[in-house]
Structure 1
Amino acid sequence: MRQIENLIRPHTGHITRTRVVTGGYGTATTFTVTAERGTWFVKATPNRPGGHLDAARREAAVGPFVTTVSPEIRFTVEDPDWFVVGFEHIDARPADFTPGSPDLPLLVDVLDRLAAIPLPPVAHDWHETRWDRFATEEERALFRGDDLVHADVHGRNVLIDGDGRSRLVDWEWPTRGAGLITLGSVAVQLVAAGHSAESAESWIGRCSAWQRADPDGLDAFARAGSRMMDWFANRHPEDTWLSALADAASTWSHHRARALR
């Protein structure tokens, strides 16, 4: 921690307090920093080649383009050991996705703000391919597009501040693809939070991007998403949260299939 503090001090000034933030995944060290120039949320990733560093660099690259939905990036700095991003600190809580939650309209709002963001130049070559191996060639074509995709929208990644404004965080793997991927991912999260498939679609159906989404693409994504989550759950049976998401993805996929009959 001392090495990271020394690295960021030119941006923060004298540091008076640090507090480690837990609950995330991956190898990043996350903490809040209070210093003479303000308070920041800091994410430090080991500076060694691999997916975690690639994800951290993507998050830093896309940050300036997503300020309408996310906390601003105040600084980035690195040395041979660490790649560090300092974000605007917001006093916020995780969103509640359960049925009847007052946060659900705020989820719709942040998804609408996301849909209004043009594809950033930095994301031009970040084509979405994560679902490709679980889809047919015809299905894969439906996942292509020119929208900025955030496919990990869950309760811990949607924050609600004291003014009731929703923010979307953890842009570690933004991609270029069809906006229906974001919506479909949210549908699965809502089902996992206790919604019926019908209720989940009633909420994401209020999003502006839903009106533009190809129904065939949604059907294909539901099928591919269910196959993907089954694969992950079978590989990691000890992770019960993966099993829960696999069940939710299956529920939504079956709902989409029934609607075709």
Structure 2
Amino acid sequence: MSSTLSPAVPTGLTGRAALVTGGSRGIGAATALRLARDGADVAVTYVQDEAAAHAVVAEIEGFGRRGVALRCDAADAGAAADAVHRAADALGRLDVLVNNAGIGLLAPIGELTGEQVDRTLTVNVRAVFLACRAAAERLADGGRIVSVGTALTRYTGGPGSTLYGLSKSALTGLTKPLARELGPRGITVNLVQPGPVDTDLNPADGPLAEGQRAATSLGRFGTAEEVASLIAYLASAEAGFITGTELVVDGGHAA
């Protein structure tokens, strides 16, 4: 019986170049290192922690890949798009954009200031849109865009999550039509929705951890590396037929 399987395709990212926004810590740092381990040259952006960003770059270079640290405050008009162009120029090309940088502000709706609303929407929505617009210009055909949202947009979040949920929900509205627009060039656009993940911003031993842990089917927090593995898969050739969709990595939180 003859096989109907397609010929094998490369599974690594050798020869590819990636930009990971917010890549100095947490999910962003884990993603940058996973992409480098899989063969990509990687640029990471940071806002304040320059030392942490350069530490990530040193680890990227430890994999024999090229690493670049770029300061970028996504709240500044034009900074997100500029980072895309700077990364493409520094690495000589751009194949993967990971929109990871974001603000996780939680507060009752009546206590949110106008400045907090503006900054959250600027960083979590406008900056991602502008980075994608710049990437549409610089990405090679067959490229990848992966944005990091939150599983909070898929079920009722707790009190205080209105602004954060609103800003991250916008990424769904961006992902689907952009996948249609860039599809003819073989560029895929996907959204990863993490559940509770052990990071500096949401530690597994923090004051809000127990309720999140109990709500998962697995009874634990995820790791940044587990989210990074999904992002790396979406960035690979193996995921070439996956686009315009949301993939949840939440330990069964929304099951």
Q: Is TM (by shorter chain) over 0.5?
A: no
Q: Which has the higher contact order (CA 8 A, sep 6+)?
A: 2
Q: Which has the larger radius of gyration?
A: 1
Which structure carries more strand by proportion?
A: 1
Q: TM-score, normalised by structure 2?
A: 0.31
